Each structure stands twice: as C-alpha cells, then as structure tokens.
Structure 1
C-alpha cells in the first residue's frame, strides 16, 4: 500500500452526515442534478455510434448485436467499479486520483496524462467532423474557419462557468437522447408494420437471418465487430469527473452507475437492433448513406440525411464540449497533485480552472492545425498513438479497484454505498476481457495493431517519466536536511 492512502483524500466529503460537499480546492459545485443526469445519459452516446455503426454492421452482419452486447457488458462492469470508488471519494481526478492512491504516484501520473492526451486529440477530431458538416451546409465559409469557430465558442462556454458547461451539455445530450429514443420507437413500429404511411414492408425479425443467417461472416466476426465498436463507448466515465463539481456527488454517481445498464441497452443495442431489422445487413445503403440515414430512408422519413446531420452535429458538439471539460479537469487534478504545472490547479473567482482549460484547448487547436497541414503523418500519429488509451483507462480502473476496495473498507467503510458485483472475481474477469481485446487487436494486424503498438509506445514513455519523477521525489524526501 502506498503512503497516499493514509492522507486526506481529494474530493472527500465533509459537512453534515448524508450531505456531500465537494472539496476539490477552488472548484465550485455548479452542476445541478439535472445536469449530471443528462451528462450520465448522454455520455454513452458519442458521434461514433451514428458514424461508425455502418462499418460494424458490414463487417459482422446481424451478429454485430453480440459485439455491442459484449462491449456493453464490459462497460457496465468498468462503470460499476469506477462508481464504487467515485461514490466513496468523488473528485475531479476520478480514476487518475484513485490510481495514485491505490497503485502509486506513477500510476496516477501516467493514466492522468494519457487520458488528457486522448481527449485533446478527440477535440481535433470532433472539431474537424463538425466543420465538415457546417461547410456542407454553408460552403462559402472554409472548413478551417468553422473548426476555429466551434472551438472558440465551446472554449468560451467552459471558461464562463461550470454551470454554463452543464447547461450546454444538458441540451446537447437532451437532443441526442430524444432523437435516439424517437428513432427506436418509430423504427420498431415500422419493423412490425404498425407505422402508418411507412415505406418499409414491416418484415419483423426476418432480416436477422434472411441474408446468410445471423452469422453471415462467421462467429469470429463478433470479435472483429468488438474492435470496431469498443471506442464508441468511451465517455461513460465523464460523469465521475463531473460529480466533483455537483451539489451531491455521491447521489449523482450512484444514480449514474445504477442506470448504465438500461442506457446501453436502449441507446446502443436498441438502435442497432432497429437498423438491422429494418434493412438486410448487406444493403449497400447502410455503408453508403450511413446506418441511421438508411434506416430512416427505408421508413420514408423525408430529408433523412439532413435530419441525421443535425443529430450528428449535436453529438459532435456535445463530445467537444465534454472533451474540453474532461481534459481541463484532469489537468486541474494533475496540477493539484504536483504532477502538472501548479498554475493548472488555480481557479478564478467563478471556480473555473482557466489555465487548465486554455492549455487543453491550445493543444486541441494545434492538433486541428496538424490535421489540416499534415493529416497523413503528424496527425495520424497522434490519432493512432491515442487510439487504445480507452482500453488502458478501463484496465487501470479494474486494477485500481482491486486495491481501493480494501482501502475504503479500512478507512471509510460507511461510504461504500456502491459495490462491484462478485468482487473480486468479476473484476479479474473484466481484466481478462480487456487484455484479450488488446491481444486480439495486435493479432488482427492492420490499423488496429498500429493503434495498440503506438499507444503502448506513448504509454511506456509516460510511465518511464512517471517512474523517474517518483524516484527523484523519494530521493529528495529521503535526503538529510543540512
């Protein structure tokens, strides 16, 4: 056990029993319960669900449902473990802080910076994706200008106050949630022939097996599908970082953790099920137009492409908004722990970590520039070297929870209000599942192998820096005072 576990915990609750008061020095509890609820729901719905699902369906056929289900189970387990720790110790650093306390300073430093790196690269990806849609609507404005405008507006939102971030995210996530819920309901009515005026023949479950069976590409295609969909689930953990700035962190985390199962079931499995029951899996429209647009067209929804572009743009802006928030709060936490410049841990009179936000968005702007100037070299390296970080984060959460359960039971057992099921067996099983996915990515080759190898290379460099810093710090502390 490291010495950190006996020190006062960042974000530990204080005040009257039953009332949670975040104590991340300087940050203010500006997020309301409705903000946290929508962040929790919308956090599982990334633009990848809308954009990337067509390729997954083409690769695995109807069996892509099992791919989504497997990754969904993995995310449920990881979120349960993270929820256990976050409900007991809500903090802006979330799993990075817990890794610091349970595994050592090197672990918190490494995963914190890798996670920050992941999200600042995502900023560039999402800004470019949003700019492409906006340029398609208004071609008179160049794409780079749209990307700049989107980044500037959302930076201003995050700099204003945490409540303004929460308000924007509430509406962004709300649009996504309503859109997918409506898509599932209308789609199911069309599937069973109950939708008046629908162009769809209402074939029921026939399309699940009428084009080569449920496993047209073989059972092994399920694993290929897993590799294609796993990254669209990244973002589920954002609510545990945001909880540190809420009025009642423990209640928010508990509620989000308990609802993750139905959120994944409805928004991921439900919407993909609708797509592959409305259309044969090998319909060319799924890959040419996008799975959701193709499904809407099959029903006869007018201007389906434009409708979906609006929803995808909303998802992109939501991801940008949350990505900037998440990166800045991780940088803030690293600054608090002495693993980043001290200026990152300073907040203004509104409780906003201005320097952490500006540093994160600066790298995001730089990555956008790389994307336009050197898309096939510098930006491709950034993209690939951060590609597997999501899986690294989940793996660290699992390993941390193995140690943190004992620490929490020993120090604050009354705060263990969320518990991982069948501990430690399911924790070890989840570690095995994540390790298997990483190994299969290396075995599969191609772009996914490159992502793992480059991500491991960057991770090795960061861990080496962390170990050296930790060693120098210990030597400094052990040196006799003259």
Structure 2
C-alpha cells in the first residue's frame, strides 16, 4: 500500500518491472561518476578504490535496512514514513522535508549542467534558456501518467548503463594491451606515482566524504517500487542487486581509470574522468560521446529528482506534515500539485543561480552537504527501533538485515564518526554547519506542527 487509509488519495501503481529495475539502476549512476569522480581520485589517489569500496559497503548495508522496512510496509514516503512510525512524527517530518529540500536544489544543478553542455554547441542561445527548457520538458513528463515518467527514465538509465559497459570493455582491452588505437596498457599507474596510497589513509577517509554523494539516490527503489504492482518483490530484488551494481559501475570502472592514467594527471579534472581516459586511448569522437552521456545523466538525475521530491511532499501531505493540497492527484494517479510545487522550487533555485551568480544559489546548495548522511543515519535508527518492535511482538520478517543489531549499530557509529569528521575538517565544516542549521529550522517546525500528534505504528496494526 502506498497510502495510509482507503480514503487517502491514491497514486497509480503502473510502473512496470523493467521500469523500476532501470530506475533503481539509474538512481545509482549519476553525473558524479562520469565527472565528479576526478575530485575523489585527486583526493585519495589510486586508494580511492578503498574509498569507493567503503562507501559502497555503507550504502549497501543502509539499503538492506531500508529494504527490510519497505518490504513490511511499501510506502511512497519511504524512510520518512518509517522514521515517523519508529522514532516519532517529528523525525518523519524533519527527514522528509530535508530530503525534499535536497532534491529541489539538485533539480536546478542538473538543469544548469545540461544547459552548459548545450550552450557549448549552440552558443547563440543563452544557457539560462536551455535550463528553463530542460526543466519545463521534464516537469511535463512528470505530470503525465507515471508510466511515461518510467519510460523516460528507462531509456535514460539504459544509455548510462550501455556507456559504462562500453567504457569497461574498452578499458579492459587497453589494460591487456589489445586496444588497437593506443599503446597505453597494464596497471602500473596504480602504484607508479607515489604508491597506491600516496596521500595516506586520512585521504582515503576524506575520499569517502567525496564519494558518498555519488551514491545518494540508490534509495529511490523504495519510493518507485511503491508505485508498481509487486512492490515487495521489486524491493527485495533491487536491494539484493545493489552490491553488484556498485562493484560493476563504480569499483570496476574507477579501477580501470586509475590503472590507465596517473591519478595526479591534471587532465582528469580538466576534461572529466571518463572523457580524459577515452581521449588518452584515442577513442574517436570522445568529447561528443561523453557530452551526450553526461547530458543524459543530468537529465536522468533531474527527472528522478523531480519524481522523488514530488512523491516525498505528497507523502508528507497524506500525514498532514505538508499542506493537504499536495495530496491532490490527477485521474491518472499523478500528484500534480506536488510535482508543480517541486518544479517551482527548482525554477527559483535556477533563477537565483543566474540572477546572483556565485552568491545565493551556492549558499543554498551548501546547506545540502550533510543531508545524505543524515538520511542514512535516520534509516539506520528507524530500522533498529522497528526491528526491535516487530521481534518483541513476534511478527515474522520476510527480508532481514544481517547480524541484527550489531551491523545496524556499526552503521550508526560509522555515520556518526563521518559526521564528526566533517565537523572538524576545514574542507567540510562550512557545509556541515549549514546543513545542521537547515535541519534545526525544520526540526523546530516539526515540533510546532506535530506536538499534539501521537506516533502510530501501522506496520504492527496491519499484522
């Protein structure tokens, strides 16, 4: 069930299995992998592989915990709903609005990135016009039947997957010395420039902070699956496959990058990770190919971001944590007002970027710095409390987090440690303080809105 009562507005349950599968794959492959990974490589050197492995393990465990709760109670509000039930209404309110805030700021970020790519090819048209056009088109796709959104995202994700697989094939051939267009081969770059860990283990931990935001979006499976016919089956399947996707799309592709080019090569940041490697390997049309793939990636992220933000505010509305108007759905089961509200917030962010370049929007974006970790922390705490309640009431679980409660506690302590490091690190302190500031404001609002409301535990009531 995606709703809390039979009288609640209902979302369409029309996403197909293949669409949900590709949406969840797309959620874990963002433009950050194609471009942003250069910053992570610069930070940790070849040992960035350890950074990605540690981050991937953390995300995998968090996804397992989220999957355990989502199989019991599929809900478009996902972890926000579970936090409200397990911790208290204030927690569901706070994390739900924080998540919405994160994604409505990501919407203009992706639109601006896509607009800059198009502007480079069509300089006579201003970048802001492209940004508006991209947001308008993808807002329209989100206002259509959710099947149409799913179809757009299916093809977006498929292009990204094909691009990464092609890169892995070319890179593997080059490593083994059989790529005909270049004499670059072997894996000596892994250790020839200052060793495998040139900047020390502290840099590996700093790399975790850079890479963790590339993975954010994997949790979309618990939101999208709630609009499919068999949500429990989709959630179990997608959660089990997360570790393989991380290994293939991140670890293997980045391994090939740091094997074929030096980690400190300035070309990685100047051109972007994948584009630079392909240019070194003399792949014809490298720039155009990567520009197309990155454009698709940012459109995919924008498309998903608008979908996620609208579903979250819809869910908040059904729990009276957002205006009731947000729960209005069309005859096709699309939360029209929630989509439009989230889109308008994205347009405001885009306007701030172009009207006050380098000022207001940069400040707003900095407020999202620690939100991913806060979301993961809330998921872990919710699972800890929810699992304990279910075991106390003798309710069987179909899909379990392993080694409970020890692994759950490990994740909680690890996330708190990373947040602590962010507070003390000069590189991350500013963003962390801003994130905590926004969290405090929303937290105060949550107590005002929910102070007279008692926590309910529908997962117990349903059993």
Normalised by the size of structure 1, how large is the TM-score?
A: 0.91
Shift of 1:413: 3.1
Quote the residue 2:328 is aligned against. 346
Quote the residue 2:461 is aligned against. none
Correspondent of 1:256 among 238, 241, 250: 238
CA contact (8 A) 1:331 1:340 kept: yes
Three-state SS of the structure 1 residue aligned to 2:28 is: coil
CA contact (8 A) 1:41 1:263 kept: yes
Correspondent of 1:471 among 439, 444, 451: 451
- The Cα offsets for residues 449-468 of structure 1, whole Å up to 9 and x where unpaired, read as 11110000110111111112
User: Matches of 2:140 and 2:402 in 1, distance apart?
Assistant: 41
Correspondent of 1:334 among 296, 316, 321: 316
CA contact (8 A) 2:59 2:215 kept: yes
Quote the residue 1:90 is aligned against. 74
Shift of 1:269: 0.6
Shift of 1:421: 0.9
- Structure 2 unpaired stretches of 5+: 455-463
User: Matches of 1:333 and 1:125 in 2, distance apart?
Assistant: 24
Quote the residue 1:445 is aligned against. 426
User: Matches of 2:192 and 2:90 in 1, distance apart?
Assistant: 53
User: Matches of 1:24 and 1:61 in 2, distance apart?
Assistant: 52
Correspondent of 2:403 among 422, 428, 447: 422
Quote the residue 1:17 is aligned against. none
Three-state SS of the structure 2 residue aligned to 1:224 is: helix
User: Matches of 1:426 and 1:453 in 2, distance apart?
Assistant: 28
User: Matches of 1:164 and 1:44 in 2, distance apart?
Assistant: 21
Runs of 4+ displaced beyond 6 Å: none
2:371 corresponds to 1:389: yes
CA distance change for structure 1 residues 23 and 263 in 2, over 3 Å: closer, same or farther? farther
CA contact (8 A) 1:398 1:427 kept: yes
CA contact (8 A) 1:241 1:329 kept: yes
Three-state SS of the structure 1 residue aligned to 2:174 is: helix
Write the mapping of 1:50-449 to structure 2, written as runs, cut at 5 A.
Answer: 50-195=34-179, 197-202=180-185, 204-409=186-391, 413-414=395-396, 416-446=397-427, 448-449=428-429
- The Cα offsets for residues 114-146 of structure 1, whole Å up to 9 and x where unpaired, read as 000000000010110010001111111111110
User: Matches of 1:233 and 1:458 in 2, distance apart?
Assistant: 22
- TM-align CA RMSD: 1.7
Quote the residue 1:3 is aligned against. none
Aligned length: 454
Three-state SS of the structure 2 residue aligned to 1:141 is: coil
User: Matches of 2:222 and 2:75 in 1, distance apart?
Assistant: 8
Shift of 1:441: 1.3
User: Matches of 2:9 and 2:387 in 1, distance apart?
Assistant: 25
CA contact (8 A) 1:211 1:280 kept: yes
Normalised by the size of structure 2, how large is the TM-score?
A: 0.95
Three-state SS of the structure 1 residue aligned to 2:322 is: coil
Quick check: 448-457 or 404-413, which moved more? Answer: 404-413
User: Matches of 2:391 and 2:236 in 1, distance apart?
Assistant: 18
Shift of 1:23: 9.8
User: Matches of 2:90 and 2:295 in 1, distance apart?
Assistant: 38
CA contact (8 A) 1:200 1:300 kept: no
Shift of 1:439: 1.1
Shift of 1:29: 0.8
Three-state SS of the structure 2 residue aligned to 1:220 is: helix
Quote the residue 2:33 is aligned against. 49
User: Matches of 1:150 and 1:376 in 2, distance apart?
Assistant: 21
User: Matches of 1:452 and 1:121 in 2, distance apart?
Assistant: 16
Quote the residue 1:461 is aligned against. 441
User: Matches of 1:200 and 1:424 in 2, distance apart?
Assistant: 52
CA contact (8 A) 1:134 1:146 kept: yes
Three-state SS of the structure 1 residue aligned to 2:158 is: helix
User: Matches of 2:362 and 2:184 in 1, distance apart?
Assistant: 43
Shift of 1:161: 1.1
Three-state SS of the structure 2 residue aligned to 1:349 is: coil
- The Cα offsets for residues 353-392 of structure 1, whole Å up to 9 and x where unpaired, read as 0000000000100000001112333212210112211111
User: Matches of 1:402 and 1:10 in 2, distance apart?
Assistant: 22
User: Matches of 1:387 and 1:469 in 2, distance apart?
Assistant: 26
CA contact (8 A) 2:12 2:227 kept: yes
Three-state SS of the structure 1 residue aligned to 2:201 is: coil
Quick check: 39-48 or 248-257, which moved more? Answer: 39-48
